[in-house]
Chains A and B, each alone.
Chain A
Amino acid sequence: MKQVFTCIICPNSCEIEVSEEGITGALCRRGVQYVQQELTDPRRNIATTVAVQGGAEPLVSVRLTAPIPKARIMEAAEAIHALQPEAPVKAGTVLAHDLLGLGADVIATKSVEKRQRISAGYESGLASVWQRYESTPHTQALKTRKAWTSSAAQTSIVCPSRRP
């Protein structure tokens, strides 16, 4: 029985073979460790984003401090997406300790400042421009177009906000 793995530790992407004779084809020790891990308990790190409340930018990028079991990736992604940190967020801040008891923390990988309120007048002005855009015949026409009621019904032409 022979199995071939593509090492994902570095860009060398070594093709590593596992057979009765052992593990061959790794350019470094980390490749051998990767295959041993992959055979017993495959793990991955994940990177995603979290919505920041009151941030100058809508999202902060995050990653885990350690890889987690592959089978729990989607569950972990959902748990991360439910986080709601408030601005300001500093890069390196732990946003969740020991996520789902998997032994990895969620850390911010960039800094997001607090949103500066320019003025109440500016914001209400912006809101009224948006309202006018929404009520134009063009926008209305786009919304009521036949194509939208079929298979693509839920995907609007204006990409919807991903998370609140």
Chain B
Amino acid sequence: MREVDVLIVGGGPAGLSAAVALYEQGVKDILVVEREAQLGGILKQCIHDGFGLTRFQQALSGPEYAQIFIDRVRELGIPCLTNAAVLEITPDKKVTIVTPEGLLEYRARAILLAMGCRERTRGALAIPGERPAGVFTAGVAQSYINLYNRMPAREVVILGSGDIGLIMARRLTLEGAHVKGVYEILPYPSGLARNIQQCLNDYDIPLHLGHTVIDIHGDARLTGVTVAKVDDQRRPIPGTEEYIPCDTLILSVGLIPENELSRGAGVMLNPRTQGAVVDEYGQTSAPGIFAAGNVLHVHDVVDEVSAEAERQAAAIRKYLEQGALPEAGVTLRAGQGVHHVVPQHITGADEFLLSLRVATPLRNTKITVRDGDRIVAQKTYRRAVPAEMIHFMVKPGTPQTHEWEVSVE
């Protein structure tokens, strides 16, 4: 069994940002483990621009953003294992990795989970109908077109208005496909407003809110879908069905943090974020195991993933130096109107960054952090939507209770 100070699971933006930050802060005994042949994670297939606006004040493409970190990792000589999949992480931080050369076993003093997320599929939606070819998740269609030079579609219907679906509506149009429409079951879009504008409106692609696909038709290949309006309980309204001929259905219906390894390591998960329960240091319920990026909670932009990974890197360095981090005895709860909060536990001693999503779209709203009767922090927003993550720094003051609540009014 080999030993390493920090083992980072995943060579995407979170893993790479953390590796660079750790190394620059003097933690040099690091290993990045990536299951694909190349570093960069999902950014490899995100060829559109808009990455790095906050961090580099430039609209870079995904591959360019990733390359900045890959170059830095190479320059510093940080070891990265590619084509290497982590099979298991134990609560006492033993890691089993499979590589083309065989199995490797490591014992790490600290682990950073940076596995990212994956897409929800048709199975998760339970759409009835046939099982023809031609039903793809947006990310799969994206990799076909952007990486493998395959054109999976001609006449397209998109279900769900997540950001990748919107990006793919534009991408498919540029490649000569005809996108007939985007159907979203919710009464509001799931993706960022800027993507509705630049990916749909710019190309005259209609967005149908409060609609969903209720049937899939086709034998070997998809021949069409039936869509229908839904009521406020998201149930299809009889009589509103419409048949739309198409050869491809693209699904953009949400992302799920990929936490199978975390579960095996005894890490507690939060049912709302579907990521690990963490404290303000990004430390999970398993001491010495940290999480950052989309495996922790799904972010809107990569710049924030990098920033989060860097904060976690600073905490990991502190953990290595001190052997343990201060106990986070205060619980943060998502209250009225708040879908989830990260972190879920805090020490109450230091200033921390609070991230949250609201449950429904709101205008002129106040977000309040309460410790019993004491208002710890309050922020006013002209517009708050579930598609946009909200974050702000919170100064905890002197805690009165151990159960704080974040709510919207």
Residue of B nearest to A110 (CB): B63
Partner of A57 from B49, B147, B223 at Cβ < 8 Å = B147
Residue of B nearest to A61 (CB): B47
Q: CB within 8 Å of B: which of A109-164? A: 109-111, 142, 145-148, 150-152, 154-155, 157, 159-163
Residue of B nearest to A51 (CB): B149
Is A147's CB under 8 angstroms from B63's CB? no
Given contacts A47-B48, A48-B174, A110-B67, contact A152 B147 (CB under 8 A): no
Partner of A13 from B147, B218, B388 at Cβ < 8 Å = B388
Q: CB within 8 Å of A: which of B129-185? A: 133-134, 144-154, 171, 174-175
Given contacts A15-B383, A59-B147, A147-B218, contact A109 B202 (CB under 8 A): no
**Minimum CB–CB distance for B307 against chain A, Å:** 13
Is A8's CB under 8 angstroms from B197's CB? yes
Is B202's CB under 8 angstroms from A44's CB? yes
Cα-based distance from A146 to B220 in the complex (angstroms): 9
Given contacts A48-B47, A57-B147, contact A91 B63 (CB under 8 A): yes
Residue of B nearest to A92 (CB): B64
Is A162's CB under 8 angstroms from B193's CB? no
List of B residues within 8 angstroms of A45 by Cβ: 49, 59
Is B245's CB under 8 angstroms from A151's CB? yes
Tell me whether B99 is interfacial, beta carbon within 8 Å.
Answer: no
Is A150's CB under 8 angstroms from B47's CB? no
**Minimum CB–CB distance for A2 against chain B, Å:** 17
Bin the interface of chain B by size. Answer: 35 or more
List of A residues within 8 angstroms of B174 by Cβ: 46, 48, 73-74, 77
Cα-based distance from A49 to B151 in the complex (angstroms): 12
**Minimum CB–CB distance for A41 against chain B, Å:** 14
Q: CB within 8 Å of B: which of A1-45? A: 5-11, 13, 15, 44-45
**Minimum CB–CB distance for B341 against chain A, Å:** 20
List of B residues within 8 angstroms of A74 by Cβ: 174
Is B63's CB under 8 angstroms from A59's CB? no
Is B194's CB under 8 angstroms from A6's CB? yes
List of B residues within 8 angstroms of A47 by Cβ: 47-49, 61
B-to-A contact residues, CB < 8 Å? 44, 47-50, 53-54, 59-61, 63-64, 67, 133-134, 144-154, 171, 174-175, 192-194, 196-198, 202, 218-223, 245, 247-248, 300-301, 383, 388
| 9 pairs from A and B in contact (CB 8 Å cutoff) | A6-B193, A6-B194, A13-B194, A48-B171, A58-B148, A62-B47, A148-B221, A152-B247, A160-B150
